[in-house]
Structure 1
Amino acid sequence: MTSPSRAAIVTGAGNGLGAAFAEALAAAGVAVVVNNRMHSDRPHSALAIIERIEARGGVAVVDGHAVDAEGAADALVGAALAAFGRLDVLVLNAGIAGPPMKVGTGDTGVAEVMATNFFANVRLVEAALPHLLASPAGRIVFVSSTGGLHGVRGRAAYAASKGAVNGWALSLADELRRTSVRVNVIAPYAATNMTAQPGRAADPRLAPEGAAAALTWLCDPATDRTGEIWVAGAGHVRAARAMESRAAPAAEIAARADELAAMPEARSYLGGEAAFADFYDETTRGAT
C-alpha cells in the first residue's frame, strides 16, 4: 500500500456518527482506521463502512478493539502505523449513554460510562500524541455533547463524562498551543442508535452526515483553530463555550442574583488561569 499523505483513527465508527465521520474523512483523501467493538454473535459492523469507503476510491482498514479494553490504545495506534506508516488525525467518537436513571433512584453507571467516554480517550491520546506531534498538522477532535455543558436530566453519568471530556480537551489544547497539533471538541446533534426513542421516527434532517462537514473541517491541515467547542447537526454549526458574568460584591448576591445569572457582559477565557486572573483583577479594582 502506498503511504497516504494523511491518516486517521476514528473510534466507534461502525455506524451512526462515527461511520459518517470515517466516510467523510476518506472522501477528503484521508486513510482511515475504522474502529468499532467486535461482537462474537454478529458480523463486524465496521466491515460495511470499509466496503463503502473502498467502493468510492478511499482507503481504510478495520479495527475491532473495544476502546476501554486493556491495551486497546496501543493496538489502535499500532494498527494505523502498520497500515499507513503515520498518524495525523485522532477522532474520539466511541461512547455509551449509560442507563436512563435519575440521580438517587438507582445506579447511573458512572464508572462504566466514564471508562468508555473519558478514560479510554485519555489513554488513546497518550498513545497517539508522539505520532501526532510528528505530523506537520496533527489534529485531535473529541466527540462530546452539549450535555457536558448544560447537563442532561436522567443522564447524569453521560453528562458528567462529557463534561470531563470538554475540560480535558480544552486543557490539552492549551498545553499544545505552541505545537503543530490542534485540539477541538465537536458536540453533534444527530439521530443515532444512542438517541433513538421507541415509537418515534427519527428526523431525517438530523442524519449523522449533517455533522460530518464540521468534523472534516476541524481535521483539515488548513484549519488552525484550537481549544474550541463546535455544535454541529442538520448541516449547521454554532460555537459554544463556558461563560462568566461580571463580578459583584458577595454581600450583594441576594439582591443581584437574577442580574448576575442573566450574564451581563458575559466573557470567556483561554484556560482557568485566565479566568482567575480576570476575576482577581476585577475584584481588586472594585467590581460594581
Structure 2
Amino acid sequence: MNTSINGNKPLEGRVAVVTGAGKGLGAAFARSLAQHGAAVVVNNRIRPGAADEAAAVAESIRASGGRAIAEHSDVTDPEAGARMVKAAIDAFGHLDTLVLNAGTAGQAVRFSGATLDEIRQVMETNFFANTAIVAASLEALAATGSGRVLFISSSAGLYGVKGRAHYAASKGALNAFAFTLADEWRGKGITFNVLCPYAATRMTGADDPDNPDALLAPDRIAPAASWLVSPHHDRTGEVWIGGGGWLRRVETVETGGAAMPQQIVDFETFAVGQSGLETAQGFSGAEAAFADLFGDLRAHLKGRSQ
C-alpha cells in the first residue's frame, strides 16, 4: 500500500489513541494508523484469564517498524481518559487523535421492560465512556491546533436494528454527540467525525466457521479511519459508512416542505407530496436546520399576506 503524500507518510508526527484496539476493527485501525506514520497508544483491557491483546498488537506494530505502546484501561473506568492522555504524552510528547472504537453489542433481544438494565449497561460503554474520554482529552487535542476525533458508530444508530434497541440507541446518541461537538468546535482546532464500518469481527460472529466474511475483513475499512483523522481531512460533522473496500457518505436531509394542512384528512396527500428528495438538503446543525425552516415559513407568510 502506498502511504505517501509528496513522499512523506501523511500521519508522520501524529499521535493517536485507539480504544478497544486489541482485536478486530480496533486492531485494524491501530495498524493502519501506524502504517501511515502515526504513533499509536493501543488501548484494550485485559480480561481475566485472557492474553494481553493490546500488547500483542503494539508489538506487531513495532515489529513492522512503527511506534506503539499498550494501554490497559477499561474504557468505563472514570479515570480511563486521563490515563490514556498521560500514556500518549509520556511516550510520544503529545496527543492529537482519538479513534473511539471500544464498544459492546449487548444481547440480541426484543425490547421490553426487562431490557432497561441492558440499555443502561450498553449506554455506559458505547456512549458515556466515550464522552468521558473526550472530556479528558480536549485540552491536549486543542493544544495541537489540529485535533481529530473519530467516533466508531454503526448503521444501527442511523436506522435502528431489530432486536438491538439498546445498541441502536447508544450509537444514535453517539452520532448526535459527535454532531454537536463538531458544531461547537467548528474552526477551533478539533474536528469530530463518525465512521460506521461493516466488518466481520468477534462482535458480529466472525468466529463462526460458517460465516464466510473475508470480504468484510476489518483491514478493508481501516484506511478510511486513517483518512478521517488525517490533517488532510479538515471537514467536521461528517458520517461515512462502508466495508469491504467500499465507502459512502451519509447525510441527514430535510425536504423543502410546504404549508401544512389544517385538516387531518388532508395530511396524507401532503405527505405524498413531500416523499421526494428533489428539494432535500442537509444542515450543519440543529440551529441551521431551524433557521432554514423558519426562513421558509416567514417567506410563505409574507407571500400569503401580499
> What aligned pairs does 1:108-257 form with structure 2 within 5 A after superposition?
109-196=118-205, 200-251=210-261, 252-257=266-271
How far off is 1:259 after superposition? 3.2
* SS in structure 2 at match of 1:61: strand
Q: Structure 2: 5+ residue runs without aligned partners?
A: 1-11
How far residue 264 of structure 1 moved from its aligned partner, in angstroms, is 4.1
Letter in 1 for 2:144: S
Return the offset for 1:70. Answer: 2.6
Q: Distance in 2 between matches of 1:91 and 1:71?
A: 18
Please list the CA deviations of residues 184-219 of structure 1 after superposition, one character each: whole Å capped at 9, or x if unmatched.
Answer: 111101111111175631321100011111111111
Partner Cα separation in structure 2 for residue 144 and residue 194 of structure 1 = 13
Check the 8 A contact 2:78/2:132 in 1, yes or no: no
CA distance in 2, matches of 1:71, 1:232: 32
For 2:53 and 2:99, locate their aligned partners in 1 and report how far apart those are by CA, in whole Å: 18
Partner-residue secondary structure (3-state), 1:102: coil
Supply the distance in 1 between the matched residues of 2:201 and 2:113 (Cα, whole angstroms): 26
* 1:11 aligned partner: 19
Given candidates 45, 55, 68, the residue that maps to 2:76 is 68
Residues 30-75 of structure 1 show CA distances to partners (whole Å, capped at 9, x for unaligned) of: 1110001211211111122112101100111111111011311111
What is the percentage of aligned positions where both structures have the same residue? 45
Deviations 1:163-197 (A, max 9, x none): 11111101101111121211111110111111117
Q: What amino acid is aligned across from residue 187 of structure 2 in structure 1? A: R
Q: What residue identity is the alignment partner of 2:133?
A: L
1:113-172 residue CA offsets vs partner (Å, 9 max, x unmatched): 111111111111111111111113211100011111111111011111111111110110
Contact 2:149 2:191 survives alignment (8 Å): yes
Match of 2:8 in 1: none
Aligned to 2:67: 59
SS in 1 for 2:157: helix
Judge which range, 215-224 or 11-20, deviates more.
Answer: 215-224
Mark the CA change 1:259 to 1:194 in structure 2 (over 3 Å): closer, same or farther. farther
| 1:262 positional shift | 3.9
The whole-number CA distance in structure 2 between the counterparts of 1:118 and 1:204 is: 29
SS in 1 for 2:249: strand
Aligned residues: 285
Runs of 4+ in 1 over 3 A off after TM superposition: 197-200, 261-264
Quote the residue 1:272 is aligned against.
Answer: 286
AA in 1 matched with 2:47: H
Q: TM-score, normalised by structure 1?
A: 0.94
Matched, 1:99 2:107: yes
Aligned-CA RMSD value: 1.8
Q: State the SS of the aligned residue for 2:154.
A: coil
Report the alpha carbon displacement of residue 285 of structure 1 after superposing the two structures with TM: 2.0
Larger radius of gyration between Structure 1 and Structure 2 = 2
> TM-score, normalising length from structure 2?
0.89
C-alpha contact (below 8 Å) 1:14/1:45 kept by paired residues: yes
Structure 1, unmatched stretches of 5+, are none
Instruction: Select between 195-204 and 220-229 the one with higher mean Cα deviation.
Output: 195-204
Q: Give the Cα–Cα distance (whole angstroms) in 2 for the partners of residues 199 and 36 of structure 1.
A: 25
Amino acid in structure 1 at the alignment position of 2:86? G
